[in-house]
Amino acid sequence: MIRTYQGSCHCKTVRFEIDADIDHVRVCDCSVCAMRGALIHRVPADAFRLQTPLDNLSVYRWGSRTAADYFCPTCGVLPFRKPSAPTAEEAANGLAPFDGWAVNTRCLEGFDPSGVPVRTVRGSTLVIRQSR
């Protein structure tokens, strides 16, 4: 069932809301995600409403530099990110780009991640070529 969730960083400087049926969360094992510990759920672009100007957030890009990890400049929490584009191999195997947002479900009011299945994303095995 689709529900509207309010989300924010720890200090509430960054605010957003989503419409989602959160039937699972994703845990990635790449180096940055393993340290971060976020439980991610993807939502389409039209189901995400940012209430804080994007320019007010800090952004981190790494690897292929096609993803954007957005952080609160005050408390440092990552409430959401723009997922990376498919690698050449993924695109060759038919994986289409995702036009939406990956939301850290730990930042959603009233959502208990212990009640949904966890899917592991093997980000540590992706071969990412640095763009210059």
Domain count, the chain: 1
For residue 129, tell me if it sits in a domain. no
Rounded to whole angstroms, how far apart are CA atoms 127 and 95? 15
pTM of this structure: 0.86
In the structure encoding, which two tokens stand for residue 101, read together? 């947002």
What is the residue-averaged pLDDT of the chain?
A: 89
For residue 84, tell me if it sits in a domain. yes
For residue 36, tell me if it sits in a domain. yes
Q: For the sheet with 3-8, list strands across it.
A: 3-8, 15-20, 48-50
- What tens digit of pLDDT does each residue of 60-94 get? 997 777 789 999 999 999 999 998 777 777 788 88
Q: What is the pLDDT of residue 129?
A: 42
Strands (E), the chain: 3-8, 15-20, 25-28, 40-44, 48-50, 58-60, 68-71, 80-82, 100-104, 118-121
DSSP code for 55? G
For residue 101, tell me if it sits in a domain. yes
For residue 131, tell me if it sits in a domain. no
CA distance from start to end of the chain = 43
Helix ranges, the chain (H): 31-36, 88-92
- What tens digit of pLDDT does each residue of 38-64 get? 999 999 999 999 999 999 999 999 777
Helix/strand/coil for 53: coil
CATH number of the domain residue 89 falls in: 2.170.150.70
In the structure encoding, which two tokens stand for residue 41, read together? 């759920």
